[in-house]
Structure 1
Amino acid sequence: MKVAVVNSRISLIIDNHVVDVERASDGALSSDPETLWAQWGALLAFAESGVSAAGHPELDADALQRPTPLPVQGFGIGLNYLDHAEESGLDLPAAPMVFPKFSSCIVGPDAVLRIASESVDWEAELVVVIGVDCFDVSVEDAWSVVAALTVGQDFSDRVIQFEGGANPQMGLGKSGPGFGPIGPWLVSIDEFDTSALKLDISFTQNGVTKQSSNVEHLIFDVPTLVSFLSKRVDLKAGDVIYTGTAAGIGWGRTPKEHLSPGDVLETTIEGIGTLRTIVAAR
C-alpha cells in the first residue's frame, strides 16, 4: 500500500492514480491526515479489498505533501554504514549513535530547502515510520510496530554541527528549517521482505550521482534500531527514524562539497520512490 497526502487529503496511490480514501470508501474512512494512525489498520484492509484506480485522477506530483502528520519524535542514527564510518575517519560505534531530528524540520516532497551558507551537506536515508505507541520492544517483534518505510534526507549544516568542537551539536546542525524531508509517500511494511531487507538507495545532485548503496549494509538494522530506541524511550505512532547514510557525503570528499542555491536533489530508494528537494538562498 502506498499512502500519500495529496492536496491535504489521505489518498492511496494506485497505478499512478490518486484514490481519495474518504470518497472511495463512501465516508467509512477519513481523508484528514491527522487521523492517519488511528485508522491505519482500516486503511490496510481497504487497500487489500481490491479498490481500483479506475475513474480516479492521475497523480500530480506537485500536489504531494508530507505523507504523515507532524511526528511527535524524530530520531537520527549516525555512522550506521561501514563505508560512511570509514570516510568520516571514526571508529565503528558499539551501539547506535542517536541524535534528535526535531520535528519542526520534517517536511514533504518537493520542498524548498533555503540555505544561508556553504556548509550544508546531504545524507540520503531510509526512514522508518512507527505505527503504534510502544515501549520495550524486542528485536524479534520490532517489525510488528513498524507501519511503513519512506525516503528521507538528513541535511546537515556542518558548521553548526561541529561548532561544539569535541561535543558536536548533532541535533541543532541537522534540524534547520526543511532539513528533514520525507516522502513522496509511505509504503506499508507488508510490501517488503523484512526477513532480508535489500533496497538500493541513491542520491543525485543536479543529475550527478553522489551516493549509491543498499540498505543491507546498515551496521544496525531496522529491528535493532527500533528495539534499541524502544527500550529507552516511549515510541509514538508516527515517529520517524532516519536510519543513517552511506558513503558519498559532501564533506567526506576532497575537496569538500556542499549544497548551493539552484541545486535539484533527488533521493531514490528501490521499492519506495524518489524524494525531490530544491535548494534556494535564504
Structure 2
Amino acid sequence: MPRHMTRRRRAAITVPLVAIALVTAVPVGYVASLSVRSRDDVLNGGLLPSHLYWRNWPDAFRAVDLGHYVANSWTIAAGSVLLTLLIAVPGAYFTARAGRAGGRLATLVLSSYCAPPVVAVLPLFFLLRNLDLNNTVTGLALVDGLANVPVAIWLLDGFVRKVPRDIEEAAWLDGLGTWASLRRIVLPLIAPGVAAAALICFFLSYNEFLFALSFAQDSGSQTLPVVLSLFQGDKNVEFGQQAVVSLVGIAPVYVLAVAAQRRLVAGLSSGAVK
C-alpha cells in the first residue's frame, strides 16, 4: 500500500479521535477553571477566569478533611467490588451453564436493576438499622456491592459462555467438581472479564450518591460525592471550593482508569462476542 494512502488512513482515524478527546476534556477543563475563580467571577459568566483566585485551594482543604472522605470512597468502592465479584462470578456461571433455569435467574437479576434505586432506600434503611450498620463504611460497601451484582453478572455472562464446555468436561473426568472447575479452570480463563467488571463496578460505587446520602449522616462514613453537595448552601454556593474537591476526587480515579485502560478494553472486547 502506498505511503500516502497509509497516512490518509491514519489521519482519518486520528483527527476524529483528537476531536472526541478535546470534547471530552472540556468539562474537566471548565471545572479546573472554576477552581481558580472567585464567586463573583463565576457569577459574571464566561468560560475563563478574569483573574486567578488561588485561595479556593487552601480554603477547600481547610473546610473539609478531603483525605478522610477520599479514603472512605475508596474503601467502600473496593469492599463493594469484592462482594460483587464473590456473588457475580458463580451467578454468571449459573446463568451461562444452567439452561432455562439460568436464563430465568438472569431475567430475575437484571429486572431488579430496572427499578429506580430510590424505591429501595426505605427498606434498606431499616435493614441496615436492624443490622446496626447505618452510618458505617461497612454498610455502604454492603449496599453498593449488592446493587452492582446485576451489572457484573450481565458483563461476566458473555465471558463464561465463551469458555468451551469440553474443557470443563475434561476437568470433571479428572475428578474436579463443579466449584473446583469454576475456581481452577473457568475463573483463570475469564480473568480479563473479571478485571473489566471489577473496574466498572468500582467506578459505579465510587460515584454513587443516593445510598451514600441516605445511609451515612455521620461525617465519619460519608463519601466524597456527599461532601460535594455540602458546599451548596441555602444562599451561597462555593463554586470554586466545590471545583477543587471535584478535581481532587477525579484525579485518583482518572489515574486508575488510565493505568488499567488496556485491561478494561481487552476485557470488554474479548467478551463482546458470545
Q: TM-score, normalised by structure 1?
A: 0.21
Structure in which a larger fraction of residues adopt strand: 1
- Return the index of the structure with the highest Cα Rg: 2
Higher relative contact order (CA 8 A, sep 6+): 2
